[in-house]
């Protein structure tokens, strides 16, 4: 294929794969697409290990890294008071709610004290200071792109990336965000519609992509949100995008990090089984509807906290829930969930990640042929 991003990023197919799993990133890159590793879950040391592994498995082919740098976070995290300040800012009623929830669903409690400290460390990484460490680790590797979600990338990220000759991408959910990102120096805009998995706005991909393309031209745009097939990839290019950026579709691949009970739920889910909820991170994120999302909206819920405090409350709990769900505990299975978009309804079989790439390319070619038949060309 031949779009602006194929030439610019040295790839065969303009298909970018966001994943927290290094195996998916390497598989997509090796299949002719562009894998992007989500770094938010990693400590700087662990990220270093993951990137070294990717370097060893892609033979110099291009890949990227995504860090999460939220524009707005909870005041307790802005103060820079470290782990203790973050932990102290979580009200007792949130821990009590969790204890009650585990009892209600008959799930053994995790070691909350240990989980609290480890998740506070995780929460600290979604502050500007925390993200900076991840950016430094990433830029020391031969990456072909650095991306940021949830806000304008910090000037330091743009400056350091530009100095290293590495293009910067940013996810946007409105044309206004896109304008701000380009003014901040972003080279590639990912227009992510509200049907996407993870943090998302409300404008659908079909409406957002042409709006953003017109707003930021000539800066190239990738379409994201709801894309899991080659037909949708063809539609995205027709809307003016130079390629696509997919996240959900990798979650049911053989390589994915998804826990087996959640994978089962994803394969069975329809496009109506997701919800935008603040219950995992404190910001609206699309995820699988489950007893977890229902309980956080229920009458006993204290209501989710802001980011990153809600991550401290939720991530240790979800880790325990997913672990216990693997042993067949029915309550844990009811609560288990993960970030996923509406295209979960199109994800019905487990395949290797490279096969997803090849299937999308083939489906894309069929779609183009159908369009050519409509116009009498080709």
Binding site for ligand FMN (CB under 6 A): 18, 38, 40, 66, 68, 149, 171, 192, 195-198, 224-227, 245-249, 338-341, 343
CA angle 47, 6, 59 (to 5 degrees): 45
- How far is CA 367 from each of CA 1, 32, 162, 224, 236, rounded to the nearest angstrom? 14, 20, 37, 18, 12
Q: Which is nearer to ligand FMN, 130 or 197 (CB)?
A: 197
Closest-CA residue to 280 (of 290, 293, 289, 269): 293
Q: Is 345 exposed, middle or buried (CB count within 10 Å of its CB: 0-12, 13-18, 19+)?
A: middle
Distance CA 297, CA 277 (A): 9
CB of 149 to ligand FMN, least distance (A): 3
| Nearest residue relative to ligand FMN (C-beta) | 247
CB of 29 to ligand FMN, least distance (A): 16
Least CB distance to ligand FMN at residue 228 (A): 7
Q: How far is the CB of 376 from ligand FMN (least distance, A)?
A: 33
Residue 161: name the closest of 131, 199, 200 by CA. 131
Q: Taking the CB of residue 94, how many other CB atoms lie within 10 A of it? A: 19
Residue nearer to ligand FMN on the CB measure, 97 or 187 = 187
CB of 92 to ligand FMN, least distance (A): 29
- Measure the CA–CA gap between 272 and 270, rounded to whole angstroms: 5
Q: Name which of 89 and 196 has its Cβ closer to ligand FMN.
A: 196
* Helix or strand run (H / E) with residue 172: strand 168-172
Residue with smaller CB distance to ligand FMN, 40 or 312? 40
| CA–CA dist 378, 375 (Å, integer) | 9
Nearer to ligand FMN, 58 or 228 (CB): 228
Closer CB to ligand FMN, 97 or 252, in the complex: 252
CB of 245 or CB of 296, closer to ligand FMN: 245
**Least distance from ligand FMN to the Cβ atom of residue 39, Å:** 8
CA distance 97 to 17: 36
**What is the distance between the alpha carbons of residues 373 and 251, in angstroms, rounded to a whole number?**
34
Shortest approach of ligand FMN to residue 280 CB, angstroms? 10
Smallest distance from the beta carbon of 325 to ligand FMN, in angstroms?
17
Measured from the CB atom, the residue of 124 and 340 that comes closer to ligand FMN is: 340
Tell me if 340 sits within 8 A of 270, measured CB to CB.
no
- Which residues, including other chains, have CB under 8 Å from residue 10's CB and lie 6 or more apart? 61, 62, 144
């Amino acid at each position: 294929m031949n779009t602006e991003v194929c030439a610019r990023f040295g790839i065969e197919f303009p298909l970018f794969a966001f994943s927290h799993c290094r195996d998916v990133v390497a598989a997509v890159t090796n299949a002719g697409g562009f894998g992007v590793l989500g770094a938010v879950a990693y400590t700087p040391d662990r990220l270093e290990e993951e990137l070294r592994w990717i370097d060893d498995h892609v033979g110099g082919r291009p890949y990227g890294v995504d860090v999460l740098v939220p524009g707005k976070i909870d005041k307790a995290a802005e103060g820079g008071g470290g782990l203790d300040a973050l932990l102290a800012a979580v009200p007792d009623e949130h821990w009590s709610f969790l204890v009650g929830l585990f009892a209600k669903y008959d799930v053994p409690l995790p070691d909350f004290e240990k989980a609290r400290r480890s998740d506070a460390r995780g929460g600290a990484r979604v502050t500007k200071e925390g993200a900076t460490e991840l950016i430094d680790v990433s830029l020391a590797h031969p990456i072909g792109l650095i991306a940021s979600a949830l806000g304008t990338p910090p000037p330091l990220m743009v400056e350091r990336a530009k100095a290293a000759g590495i293009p910067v991408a940013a996810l946007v959910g409105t044309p206004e965000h896109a304008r701000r990102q380009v003014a901040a120096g972003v080279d590639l805009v990912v227009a992510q519609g509200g049907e996407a998995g993870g943090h998302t706005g409300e404008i659908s991909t079909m409406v957002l992509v042409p709006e953003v393309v017109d707003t930021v031209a000539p800066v190239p745009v990738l379409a994201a949100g709801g894309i899991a097939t080659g037909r949708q990839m063809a539609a995205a290019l027709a809307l003016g995008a130079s390629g696509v950026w997919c996240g959900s579709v990798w979650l049911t691949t053989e390589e994915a990090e998804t826990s087996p009970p959640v994978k089962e739920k994803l394969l069975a889910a329809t496009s109506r089984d997701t919800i935008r909820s603040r219950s995992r991170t404190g910001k609206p994120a699309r995820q699988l509807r489950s007893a977890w999302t229902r309980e956080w909206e229920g009458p006993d819920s204290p209501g989710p906290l802001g980011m990153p405090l809600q991550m401290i409350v939720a991530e240790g709990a979800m880790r325990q829930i997913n672990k216990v769900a693997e042993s067949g505990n029915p309550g844990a299975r009811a609560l288990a969930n993960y970030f996923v978009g509406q295209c979960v309804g199109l994800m019905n079989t487990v395949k290797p990640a490279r096969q997803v790439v090849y299937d999308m390319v083939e489906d894309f070619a069929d779609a183009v042929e159908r369009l050519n038949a409509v116009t009498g060309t080709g």
